[in-house]
């Protein structure tokens, strides 16, 4: 045991820890722990009331056991009891246990809140600090509700001790982060700003953290902080004689506070006031000058603290992006660091220069360091430094140096660490595309990429090269020739085969004149790779073959022979087999004209953000956000649909789908139709599904949905999974399991609606005794009339039947009808229940109005119960177009030019029910910085406002 | 803001964990695993910074212990390094030449010291004197409670 005599020293605890450390094996440790747990449990349960000391000791032991990684399921109550002890150490252990072990949704929160309330009211600073710490540590919503309004008072009260002020500021900051809507802005905010003037530097530091966070969200409310922050900063940075006592850290004056003040200033543009601006510039210059002075200490702490301030000052200079001289000085300073012997500084210089590269003032200055950076790529021993070098090269790349940088990156790729290869591949692909003057260079670069790092070339990259080749006819011939030559290599990467198959299938005719690349030679070359490839590639090659049949009638017989062989026609893979069968059949029965139409050259892809760029963004930290493609697809159908999501989680059909059909519904592309006919093979349903295109893209969106192998629910519980998806759209798949797929198409006019339900039998056998029923609960019955037409009792294998529902809205409602389905499959009775997406907003009619009319009505609907407001976090990327589409899909008219802030959305509509009409105004304010929205709804009826708010706020 | 601080040994044994945002036990375990493998695999004299998901990881080794601090993307790495150093100084001052065993046997003290220094993922008090004074004050409170001393062990 170590000789620690500090504190009270709970001997029992020390003995226990020693025992654990002496355990020779994991088993022995678990045995010892179980023994201890049994002992503690019996003590806690025992008749004899435990004194505070014992309770504290046992709670502490439990905590230790938990920190070893074992689960603890008791003792919480005892810990809560300790909170109300008037002995500091007991209280302290109780709070520690709670902050480590109690998660935010515990049912003990109310008891804990009680104890906290007492401690906050105790006026004992030590106890108050413990309580504030606990709130900050747990930070649950319930705690925020209980205390968010008290803490500002503690913070600004004149008689609060400094240490409590510090805790209160940071506690408030924490609550503002977790539950911003509960922290009321108010009179205290102005007083908080004045804490920047406080005597106590600890208070200033804590307050600066709080103000920075608040200012990020509401910059206008905290503008006064700029003057105070500059003044404070200037006093710290420029006056040499000031004595900051213990806030000087290794000869650097208050580095933490300086950095925080610089950060606070980064919430704002450069000050407009000339005097203030020059004072700030003076500060920044002083910091830059100090970097050139000899160090006051050899300790690394000194240089770290000093450079921390320097880097933060540079960040502010970059943020302002307005003083060319400062920007160039910053760049030169970073240039010095690029060759510094400290790895940390080289790393940070590379990182910081990345942002400098994007400023027009310093871009050229950054470029002068290119050789150094390329050298870093070759010589740095640390992979994370090399990665920063790659980032910087990417950032400094422009038309003038693109060829050199791409070449350097390609050559680095040959030896690059596996962990960063994929990212380098993406970057090279993007730069090559962005700065391609002649596209032959682009094609060469991508093929080189595949050659050097084929395994790291993701699908996005080779999709992209194909998109570009298809869209630019000046490069098609070159591309065909180049892939043809590349395919000559005895061993080539499968990605090359994919690109080759696709490009030759489309543009092989452009090189077929040369006898060295005659159609037959091309075909044989491709087919020689066939057997080495995976199923998706083979599927793609089969598509290339059928394209060949159209392009070159002279090889038709050869290809038909290949398709006819047993290895194709009877392939064990269903996708390959099906393609072989269908293509063979198509080539036999279709006339040349039909073949030419069906197999026409692919039309150009619509221009849009490069899918590679999206992928890179995704890799770079936006991963926390939910899938962008998913949200877009829901609203816009397939126009925004990109390859990323589908290809990663689906198998072969998606491959074909992505390349041949995703970007828009194309009559000329045959495969989706074939797929389609297969899935839903009865003719009426087929037309039904295709005629869904009320919006130009809806048909395609259904296509996508049809193929998505989503959930396989089997329980009888009411399925609500897809319900929210239908708030802003009317068509799609509402339910799917292995047996059955249910698609919906609905139309609404005023208070009436009609819903077409399509039941698709996914199996090859009949579904018998097929019955459906629509139920509404007692309340809903009086609000909504739903009438279902009868449906056939047998659904043939692979077939689809349709059912029509007529819906009438009598008055506003909240619940949704439930569709029950019953059938027999293979002798067992199947029960399915699905919540039908009949929602109040479906009965919207849009209302166009002028800005004046809008505000007039807005004012009329000003009673407190008529307005509902909700602030919520964005669950999807905050894309203006997607948001617009969702609001339109919700059913209201989007009113332009009403809101003074163009970033906000304003809508208006009328809900039609049989009994009444309810006008509705809507305002949605995005805050991209905080990733939050505020939604405000005003209607004449409170329940309508409530319900609409619930429905819409889940959509963003 | 800081997201979490982990202390672990060269063998990857976790000695202290502090989370500044709520997280499920499963997430915590995964992060602990990721951090120990990532940091322990680093070559000596590499730089002290790593990117991990959308966070910056700043780590430093003191004797047998690794200190590993995760901060949000816009935070200052060098200063984060000094946050670690300041915490080591505080431990050192309290225990007198702190070693790994001190932190094992007095883990609750290590937490209390950290709580005086950091709060809600932000720095609360950078002055060593003030932090030390408040820790000593709480020890004083403790030591005056004589009744504790007379209790039998266990």
Domain-wise residue ranges, chain B: 2-150
Identify from A249, A251, A381, A385 which residue to disrupt to test chain B contact, counting B C-beta atoms within 10 A and taking the largest count.
Answer: A249
Q: In what order do the strands lie in the sheet with A732-736?
A: A732-736, A740-749, A752-761, A800-809, A784-788
Identify from A308, A338, A340 which residue to disrupt to test chain B contact, counting B C-beta atoms within 10 A and taking the largest count.
Answer: A308
Neighbour tally for A46: CB within 10 Å: 9
Query: Containing H/E element for A349?
Result: helix A343-356
CA-to-CA dists, residue A22 to A26, A36, A577, angstroms: 11, 15, 64
Close Cβ partners of A802 (under 8 Å, ≥ 6 residues apart)? A684, A685, A688, A756, A757, A758, A759, A791
Decide if pLDDT at A513 tops 90: no
Task: Please say whether the beta carbons of B67 and B39 come within 8 A.
Answer: no
Nearest to A424 by CA among A433, A412, A436, A441: A412
A21 assigned ligand-binding residue: no
Name A736's bridge partners.
A741
Mean pLDDT of A167-188: 89
> Looking at domain A718-838, what is its CATH homologous superfamily?
Gamma-adaptin ear (GAE) domain (2.60.40.1230)
Q: How confident is the model at residue A713 (pLDDT cuts 50, 70, 90)?
A: very low
- The nearest CA of chain B is from the CA of A463 a distance in Å of 26
Decide if pLDDT at A716 tops 70: no
Decide if pLDDT at A661 tops 80: no
Do the Cβ atoms of B85 and A301 come within 8 Å? Answer: yes
- The nearest CA of chain A is from the CA of B42 a distance in Å of 9
Q: With contacts defined as CB-CB under 8 Å, which chain A residues touch B121?
A: 174
Confidence (pLDDT) at A877: 84
d(CA A784, CA A770): 25
Residue of B nearest to A245 (CA): B127
d(CA A254, CA A288): 17
A43 assigned ligand-binding residue: yes
Confidence (pLDDT) at A401: 92
Decide if pLDDT at B119 tops 70: yes
Chain B touched by A552 (CB under 8 Å): no
Q: Does domain B2-150 have CATH number 2.40.70.10?
A: no
A48 assigned ligand-binding residue: no
d(CA A935, CA B36): 43
Do the Cβ atoms of B123 and A256 come within 8 Å? Answer: yes
| Choice between A133 and A853, residue whose per-residue pLDDT is larger | A133
What integer best gives the mean pLDDT of chain A? 82
Confidence (pLDDT) at B142: 60
Residue of A nearest to B52 (CA): A621
Nearest to B82 among A136, A173, A304 (CB): A304
Coil/strand/helix, residue B9: strand
Do the Cβ atoms of B127 and A245 come within 8 Å? Answer: yes
CATH class held by domain A321-396: mainly alpha
Coil/strand/helix, residue A252: strand
Neighbour tally for A186: CB within 10 Å: 10
Confidence (pLDDT) at A620: 62
User: Which pLDDT tens digit goes with each residue over A222-257?
Assistant: 999 999 999 999 999 887 656 777 889 999 999 999
Confidence (pLDDT) at A103: 67
Decide if pLDDT at A90 tops 50: yes
- The nearest CA of chain A is from the CA of B140 a distance in Å of 8
Task: Please say whether the beta carbons of A350 and A385 come within 8 A.
Answer: yes
Confidence (pLDDT) at A152: 92
Confidence (pLDDT) at A105: 58
Do the Cβ atoms of B51 and A384 come within 8 Å? Answer: yes
Nearest to A53 by CA among A91, A90, A11: A90
Task: Please say whether the beta carbons of A821 and A835 come within 8 A.
Answer: no
Identify from B122, B133, B135, B152 which residue to disrupt to test chain A contact, counting A C-beta atoms within 10 A and taking the largest count.
Answer: B122
> What percent of chain A clears pLDDT 90, i.e. is strictly above it?
32
- The nearest CA of chain A is from the CA of B64 a distance in Å of 16
Decide if pLDDT at A28 tops 90: yes
Chain B touched by A52 (CB under 8 Å): no
Q: Which two tokens stand for residue A362?
A: 């310093």
Q: With contacts defined as CB-CB under 8 Å, which chain B residues touch A72?
A: none
Q: Is the dihedral of CA A868, A872, A878, A883 positive or negative?
A: negative
User: Which pLDDT tens digit goes with each residue over A733-766?
Assistant: 888 888 888 988 888 888 888 899 989 888 888 8
Q: With contacts defined as CB-CB under 8 Å, which chain B residues touch A205?
A: 123-126
- The nearest CA of chain B is from the CA of A392 a distance in Å of 15
Nearest to B81 by CA among A382, A342, A300: A300
Q: How confident is the model at residue A72 (pLDDT cuts 50, 70, 90)?
A: confident
Q: How confident is the model at residue A8 (pLDDT cuts 50, 70, 90)?
A: low
Q: How confident is the model at residue A214 (pLDDT cuts 50, 70, 90)?
A: very high
Q: In what order do the strands lie in the sheet with B65-72?
A: B14-19, B2-9, B65-72, B55-62, B49-52
User: Which pLDDT tens digit goes with each residue over A769-793?
Assistant: 888 888 888 888 888 888 888 888 8
Coil/strand/helix, residue A57: helix
Do the Cβ atoms of B101 and A7 come within 8 Å? Answer: no
Q: With contacts defined as CB-CB under 8 Å, which chain B residues touch A207?
A: none
| Assigned architecture for domain A841-954 | 2-Layer Sandwich (3.30)
Confidence (pLDDT) at A409: 93
Q: How confident is the model at residue A720 (pLDDT cuts 50, 70, 90)?
A: confident
Do the Cβ atoms of A348 and B104 come within 8 Å? Answer: no
Close Cβ partners of A365 (under 8 Å, ≥ 6 residues apart)? A327, A328, A331, A332, A356
Mean pLDDT of A316-329: 92
Confidence (pLDDT) at A240: 67
User: Which pLDDT tens digit goes with each residue over A852-884?
Assistant: 777 777 777 777 778 888 888 888 888 888 888
Helix ranges (H only) for A832-923 are 851-860, 880-890
b/e burial code for range A2-13 (CB count within 10 A of at least 16 → b): eebebbbbbebb
| Choice between A49 and A292, residue whose per-residue pLDDT is larger | A292
Neighbour tally for A73: CB within 10 Å: 8
Confidence (pLDDT) at A681: 33
b/e burial code for range A873-910 (CB count within 10 A of at least 16 → b): ebebbbbeebbebbbbbbbbbbbeebbeeeeebbbbbb
Neighbour tally for A712: CB within 10 Å: 9
> What percent of chain A clears pLDDT 70, i.e. is strictly above it?
88
Nearest to A308 among B22, B45, B76 (CB): B76
- The nearest CA of chain B is from the CA of A345 a distance in Å of 8
A2-11, A501-510, A556-565, B2-11 — which is least confidently predicted?
Answer: A2-11
Decide if pLDDT at A209 tops 60: yes
Strands A718-719 and A732-736: unpaired
User: Which pLDDT tens digit goes with each residue over A290-315?
Assistant: 999 999 999 999 999 999 999 999 99
DSSP string, A740-778: EEEEEEEEEETTEEEEEEEEEE-SSSPBEEEEEEEE--H
Q: Which two tokens stand for residue A693?
A: 């295109």
Decide if pLDDT at B117 tops 90: yes
Decide if pLDDT at A945 tops 70: yes
d(CA A376, CA A370): 10
| Choice between A447 and A301, residue whose per-residue pLDDT is larger | A301
Confidence (pLDDT) at A609: 63
Query: Containing H/E element for A719?
Result: strand A718-719
d(CA A611, CA A414): 24
Helix ranges (H only) for A414-518 are 418-434, 439-453, 459-471, 473-486, 494-507
Q: With contacts defined as CB-CB under 8 Å, which chain A residues touch B112?
A: 92, 96
Nearest to B122 among A53, A209, A387 (CB): A209
Which A residues in the span 623-662 are in contact with B, Cβ-Cβ below 8 Å?
Answer: 623-624
Decide if pLDDT at B60 tops 90: yes
Confidence (pLDDT) at A636: 33
Nearest to A170 among B24, B47, B122 (CB): B122
d(CA A719, CA A121): 49
Instruction: Label residue A199 exposed, middle or buried (CB < 10 Å: 0-12, 13-18, 19+).
Output: exposed
d(CA A743, CA A759): 7
Nearest to A539 by CA among A508, A498, A567, A572: A498
d(CA A941, CA A913): 13
Q: Is the ipTM of this complex over 0.90?
A: yes
User: Which pLDDT tens digit goes with each residue over A520-543?
Assistant: 999 999 999 998 999 999 999 999
Nearest to B127 among A139, A247, A347 (CB): A247
User: Which pLDDT tens digit goes with each residue over A106-116?
Assistant: 678 888 999 99
Residues A900, A903, A908: CA angle, nearest 5 degrees: 70
Do the Cβ atoms of A301 and B101 come within 8 Å? Answer: no
Task: Please say whether the beta carbons of A502 and A540 come within 8 A.
Answer: yes
d(CA A480, CA A493): 17
Decide if pLDDT at A706 tops 50: no
CA-to-CA dists, residue A678 to A200, A582, A655, A686, A828, angstroms: 76, 11, 17, 10, 26
The ranges assigned to domains in chain A are 189-320, 321-396, 399-468, 473-602, 718-838, 841-954
A338-352, A560-574, A664-678, B104-118 — which is least confidently predicted?
Answer: A664-678
Confidence (pLDDT) at A914: 86
Confidence (pLDDT) at B86: 95
Decide if pLDDT at A48 tops 50: yes
d(CA B23, CA B28): 7
Task: Please say whether the beta carbons of B69 and B55 come within 8 A.
Answer: no
Confidence (pLDDT) at A654: 33
- The nearest CA of chain A is from the CA of B29 a distance in Å of 9
Task: Please say whether the beta carbons of A750 and A758 come within 8 A.
Answer: no
Whole-angstrom Cα Rg for chain A:
34
Residue of B nearest to A175 (CA): B120
Query: Would you mind telling me the total number of residues written for chain B in this entry?
Result: 154
Confidence (pLDDT) at B141: 63
A233-247, A402-416, A566-580, A831-845 — which is least confidently predicted?
Answer: A233-247
Q: Which two tokens stand for residue A405?
A: 């940088």
Do the Cβ atoms of A170 and B82 come within 8 Å? Answer: no
Mean pLDDT of A376-388: 90
- The nearest CA of chain A is from the CA of B65 a distance in Å of 16
Task: Please say whether the beta carbons of B40 and B53 come within 8 A.
Answer: no
Name the DSSP class of B150.
T
d(CA A260, CA A279): 18
Decide if pLDDT at A828 tops 60: yes
């Amino acid at each position: 045991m170590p000789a620690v005599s500090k504190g009270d020293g709970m001997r029992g605890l020390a003995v226990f820890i020693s025992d654990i450390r002496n355990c020779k094996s994991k088993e022995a440790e678990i045995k010892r722990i179980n023994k201890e747990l049994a002992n503690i449990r019996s003590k806690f349960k025992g008749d004899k009331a435990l004194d505070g000391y014992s309770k504290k000791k046992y709670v502490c032991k439990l905590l230790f056991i938990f920190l070893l990684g074992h689960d603890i399921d008791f003792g919480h109550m005892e810990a809560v009891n300790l909170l109300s002890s008037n002995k500091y150490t007991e209280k302290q252990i109780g709070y520690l246990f709670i902050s480590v072990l109690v998660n935010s949704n515990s049912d003990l929160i109310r008891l804990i809140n009680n104890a906290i309330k007492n401690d906050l009211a105790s006026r004992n600073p030590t106890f108050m600090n413990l309580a504030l710490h606990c709130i900050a540590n747990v930070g649950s919503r319930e705690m925020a509700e209980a205390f968010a309004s008290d803490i500002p008072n503690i913070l600004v009260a004149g008689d609060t001790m400094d240490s409590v002020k510090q805790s209160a500021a940071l506690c408030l900051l924490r609550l503002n982060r977790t539950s911003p809507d509960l922290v009321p802005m108010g009179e205290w905010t102005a007083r908080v700003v004045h804490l920047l003037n406080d005597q106590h530097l600890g208070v200033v530091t804590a307050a600066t953290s709080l103000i920075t966070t608040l200012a990020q969200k509401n910059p206008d409310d905290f503008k006064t902080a700029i003057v105070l922050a500059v003044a404070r900063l200037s006093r710290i940075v420029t006056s040499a004689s000031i004595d900051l006592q213990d806030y000087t850290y290794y000869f650097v004056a208050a580095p933490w506070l300086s950095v925080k003040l610089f950060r606070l200033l980064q919430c704002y543009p450069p000050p407009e006031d000339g005097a203030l601006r020059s004072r700030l510039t003076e500060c920044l210059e002083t910091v830059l000058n100090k970097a050139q002075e000899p160090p006051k200490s050899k300790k690394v702490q000194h240089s770290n603290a000093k450079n921390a301030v320097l880097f933060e000052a540079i960040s502010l200079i970059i943020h302002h992006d307005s003083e060319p001289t400062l920007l160039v000085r910053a760049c030169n300073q970073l240039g010095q660091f690029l060759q510094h012997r400290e790895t940390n500084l080289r790393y940070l210089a590379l990182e910081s220069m990345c942002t400098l590269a994007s400023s027009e003032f310093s871009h050229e200055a950054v470029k002068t360091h290119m050789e150094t950076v390329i050298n870093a790529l070759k010589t740095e021993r640390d992979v994370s430094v090399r990665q920063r070098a790659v980032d910087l090269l990417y950032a400094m790349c422009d038309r003038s140096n693109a060829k050199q940088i791409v070449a350097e990156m390609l050559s680095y790729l040959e030896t690059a660490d596996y962990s960063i290869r994929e990212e380098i591949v993406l970057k090279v692909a993007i730069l090559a595309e962005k700065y391609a003057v002649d596209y032959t260079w682009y094609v060469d670069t991508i093929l080189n990429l595949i050659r050097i790092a084929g395994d790291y070339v993701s699908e996005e990259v080779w999709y992209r090269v194909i998109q570009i080749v298809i869209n630019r006819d000046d490069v098609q011939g070159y591309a065909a020739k180049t892939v043809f030559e590349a395919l000559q290599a005895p061993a080539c990467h499968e990605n090359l085969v994919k690109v080759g198959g696709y490009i030759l299938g489309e543009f092989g005719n452009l090189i077929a004149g040369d006898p060295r690349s005659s159609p037959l030679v091309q075909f044989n070359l491709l087919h020689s790779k066939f057997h080495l490839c995976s199923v998706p590639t083979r599927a793609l090659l089969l598509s290339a073959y059928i394209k060949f049949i159209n392009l070159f009638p002279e090889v038709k017989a050869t290809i038909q022979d290949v398709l006819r062989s047993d290895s194709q026609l009877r392939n064990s893979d269903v996708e390959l087999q099906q393609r072989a069968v269908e293509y063979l059949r198509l080539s036999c029965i279709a006339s040349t004209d039909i073949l030419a139409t069906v197999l026409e050259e692919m039309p150009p892809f619509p221009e849009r953000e490069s899918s590679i760029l999206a992928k890179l963004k995704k890799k770079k930290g936006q991963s926390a956000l939910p899938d962008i493609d998913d949200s877009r697809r829901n609203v816009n159908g397939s126009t925004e649909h990109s390859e990323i999501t589908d290809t990663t989680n689906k198998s072969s059909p998606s491959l074909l789908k992505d390349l041949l059909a995703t970007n828009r519904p194309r009559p000329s592309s045959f495969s989706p139709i074939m797929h389609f006919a297969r899935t839903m093979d009865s003719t009426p349903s087929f037309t039904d599904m295709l005629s869904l295109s009320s919006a130009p893209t809806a048909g395609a969106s259904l296509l996508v949905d049809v193929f998505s192998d989503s959930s396989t629910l089997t329980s009888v519980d009411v399925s609500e999974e897809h319900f929210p998806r239908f708030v802003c759209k009317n068509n799609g798949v509402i339910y799917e399991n292995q047996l059955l797929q249910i698609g919906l198409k609905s139309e609404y006019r005023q208070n009436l609606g009609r819903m077409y339900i399509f039941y698709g039998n996914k199996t090859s056998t009949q579904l018998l005794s097929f019955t459906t029923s629509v139920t509404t609960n007692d309340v809903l019955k009086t609000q909504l009339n739903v009438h279902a037409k009868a449906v056939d009792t047998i659904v043939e294998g692979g077939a689809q039947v349709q059912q029509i529902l007529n819906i009438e809205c009598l008055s506003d409602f909240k619940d949704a009808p439930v569709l029950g389905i019953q059938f027999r499959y293979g002798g067992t009775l199947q029960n399915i229940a699905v919540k039908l997406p009949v929602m109040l907003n479906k009965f919207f009619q849009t209302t166009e109005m002028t800005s004046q009319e809008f505000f007039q009505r807005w004012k009329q609907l000003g009673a407190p119960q008529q307005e509902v407001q909700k602030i919520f976090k964005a669950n999807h990327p905050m894309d203006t177009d997607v948001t617009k589409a969702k609001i339109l899909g919700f059913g209201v008219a989007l009113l332009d030019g009403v809101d003074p802030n163009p970033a906000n959305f304003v809508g208006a509509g009328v809900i039609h029910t049989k009994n009444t009409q309810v006008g509705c105004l809507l305002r949605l304010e995005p805050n991209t910085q905080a990733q939050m929205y505020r939604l405000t709804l005003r209607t004449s009826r409170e329940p309508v406002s409530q319900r609409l708010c619930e429905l819409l706020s889940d959509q963003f | 803001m800081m997201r979490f601080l982990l202390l672990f040994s060269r063998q990857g044994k976790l000695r202290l964990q502090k989370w500044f945002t709520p997280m499920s036990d499963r997430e915590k375990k995964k992060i602990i695993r990721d951090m120990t493998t990532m940091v322990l695999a680093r070559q000596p004299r590499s730089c002290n910074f790593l990117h991990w998901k959308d966070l910056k990881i700043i780590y430093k080794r003191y004797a047998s212990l690794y200190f590993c601090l995760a901060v949000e993307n816009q935070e200052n790495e060098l200063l984060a390094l000094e946050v670690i150093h300041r915490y080591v100084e505080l431990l050192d001052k309290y225990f007198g030449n702190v070693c790994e065993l001190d932190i094992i046997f007095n883990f609750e003290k290590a937490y209390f010291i950290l709580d005086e220094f950091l709060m809600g993922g932000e720095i609360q008090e950078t002055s060593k004197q003030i932090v030390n004074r408040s820790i000593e004050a709480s020890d004083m409170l403790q030591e005056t409670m004589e009744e504790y001393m007379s209790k039998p062990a266990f």
